[in-house]
Amino acid sequence: MLVFPLAIALTMSATDGGISSLVWDERSAVKVPEGSVVDVVLKKAPSRLAASDPAFCEVTLEKPGFQKATRTVQLADAALRLLGVATEVLRGRQRTRVERLASWRVGDRARGWASVWALHDDAALARIIGTLSPHPEGSLLIQETSRKSVVTTSDRRPAGAGGRGAKRRAGPDSRGVWLAAAWRADPAAPPWARRHSANAWAAVLAAPAAAGWVSRDVTALIGDWAGVHGWLPDHPHRPIGLLGAMLAWHGDVTVRPAAQEMAREAAELAAARARIAEQLASRDRAAAARAAGQTALGGAGHAAARQVAAQLAARAVARRTHEVVAETAARDAAVRAARGL
């Protein structure tokens, strides 16, 4: 009997249905009850594939109790997929009208191809599988799993036989993700920068991000590359590969493409701010002098000066009046003497 630690989907008898198609791995610790649909499929399947051939499906479903198992097969497939112990390797499909007509001409009445699934273990499910029950209302029998019981086969290794298993994929570089997100949000970035997510761009931008690049450096690199090569595709076939080629053309990532331009703009901004600060300081000094002058207008010195000025003005008016009166009297005397009065 094959091994599979499930108590829900695979404990079905031959009259209940089972899995539509499977790929069996001999290293997997899977137990399938005798007489179930999975057991029949696995035993009748050619080589390591099962139910991938329409003729084989027809032979299997001709067995007693398998005629109305279509919905049960679908439920079992969904249960295995949700439990994480089966993966659909090749999705099945129905034949098109042209394919059916072509197959009918040679006597093949099959309507399509079933899905191909792969069975595998699930560590989290293996730890709690003893508490599951095949009945929705629970089981009357309490099954206790001994700590000494062997859950998996003895030759299982974390990385597979011989240590040749797949390695755990590392997560995206955090700095690369940050730089990619900032570059995708930059309005000056090309439209194809938003065709991929920040995580997809993180790998190619990891080294520039570690060297302190910002989104403007990436945009400046694209502009330099387009200026030297004379063109830039509007819709590149592989944007990530194109950016990688640009970085390889640039060479040393410690030399930022927009560093000089950003330094020049920073110097101009600092000079403008210094000029504005000097203008504000000059305005404040003029305002202070004007306020001091206005305050000095009401002082004792200005009052004495105004009094002296008033006295001088009064003396000038009196002197001018005396001169006018003397001149008028002399002219009047001369007129009288001329007339003999």
pLDDT digits 0-9 by tens, 255-283: 999 999 999 999 999 999 999 999 999 99
Does any domain span residue 230? yes
Does 105 share its domain with 135? Answer: yes
Are 191 and 80 in the same domain?
no
* Predicted local distance difference test score (pLDDT) of residue 49: 40
The whole-number pLDDT of residue 240 equals 93
128 and 74 together in one domain: yes
- The rounded distance, in Å, linking the Cα atoms of 281 and 275 is 10
State the amino acid at position 338 in one-letter form.
A
Closest alpha carbon to 160 in 27, 250, 335: 27
For the chain, percent of residues with pLDDT exceeding 90: 31
* Listed ranges 142-151, 254-263, 297-306; the one with the highest mean pLDDT: 254-263
Same domain, 12 and 65: yes
Please give the single-letter amino acid code of residue 214. V
Looking at residue 11, what is its pLDDT? Answer: 36
Whole-number pLDDT of residue 142: 58
Domain-terminating residue out of 108, 132, 159: 159
Average pLDDT, the chain: 75
Chain mean position to CA 223: 24
In a domain, 167, yes or no: no
* Domain shared by 37 and 61, yes or no: yes
Residue 113's beta-bridge partner residues?
93
Map the chain to HEC letters.
Answer: CCECCCCCCCCCCCCCCCCCCCECCCCCCCECCCCCHHHHHHHHCCCCECCCCHHHHHHHHCCCCCCCCHHHHHHHHHHHHHHCCEEEEECCEECCHHHHHHHHHCCCCCCEECCEEEECCCHHHHHHHHHCCCCCCCCCCCCCCCCCCCCCCCCCCCCCHHHCCCCCCCCCCHHHHHHHHHHHHCCCCCHHHHHCCHHHHHCCCHHHHHCCCCHHHHHHHHHHHHHHHCCCCCCCCCHHHHHHHHHHHHCCCCCCCCHHHHHHHHHHHHHHHHHHHHHHHHHHHHHHHHHHHHHHCCCHHHHHHHHHHHHHHHHHHHHHHHHHHHHHHHHHHHHHHHHCC
170: in domain: no
pLDDT for 190 equals 92
Maximum average pLDDT range among 8-22, 75-89, 141-155, 221-235: 221-235
pLDDT at 109: 83
How many distinct structural domains can be found in the chain? 4
Is 48 a residue whose pLDDT tops 60?
no
21 shares a domain with 69:
yes
My answer on whether 238 and 184 are in the same domain is yes
Task: Assess if residue 305 is contained within a domain.
Answer: no
**Are 89 and 118 spatial neighbours (Cβ–Cβ below 8 Å)?**
yes
Torsion angle of the four alpha carbons 262, 266, 268, 273, in this order, in degrees rounded to the nearest 10: 160
Task: Calculate what percentage of the chain has a pLDDT beyond 70.
Answer: 65
Comparing 28 with 139, the larger pLDDT belongs to: 139
The answer on 6 and 108 residing in a single domain is yes
What's the pLDDT tens digit per position in 278-293?
A: 999 999 999 999 988 8
Q: Of 128, 159, 190, which one is at a domain's C-terminal end?
A: 159
Query: 320 or 138, which is more confident?
Result: 320
Query: C-alpha 155: how far from its chain's center?
Result: 42
User: pLDDT tens, 176-229?
Assistant: 999 999 999 999 999 999 999 999 999 999 999 999 999 999 999 999 999 998
Characterize the bridge pairing of strands 93-94 and 86-90. unpaired
In a shared domain, residues 326 and 286: no
Same domain membership, residue 206 and residue 86: no
Asked whether residue 30 is domain-assigned, the answer is yes
Q: Which pLDDT belongs to residue 209?
A: 93
Give pLDDT tens digits for 22-41.
Answer: 444 444 444 555 655 555 55
Residue 273 domain flag: yes
Cβ(90)–Cβ(52) under 8 Å? yes
Encoded tokens for 165: 């298993």
Structural domain that includes position 324? 310-341
What mean pLDDT comes out for the span 142-161? 57
Q: What distance in Å separates the CA atoms of residue 285 and residue 281, rounded to the nearest whole number?
A: 6
pLDDT at 157: 54
The domain boundary residue, chosen from 124, 159, 194 = 159
**pLDDT for the residue 216:** 93
Any domain includes 164? no
- Per-residue tokens: 78: 């969904």
Are residue 3 and residue 92 in the same domain, yes or no? Answer: yes
| Within-domain flag for 24 | yes
- As a whole number of angstroms, the distance between CA 326 and CA 320 comes to 10
pLDDT value for 274: 95
Q: Tell me, yes or no, whether 244 and 267 share the same domain.
A: no
Q: Which residue has the tokens 């900032």?
A: 182
Q: Are the beta carbons of 23 and 117 closer than 8 angstroms?
A: yes
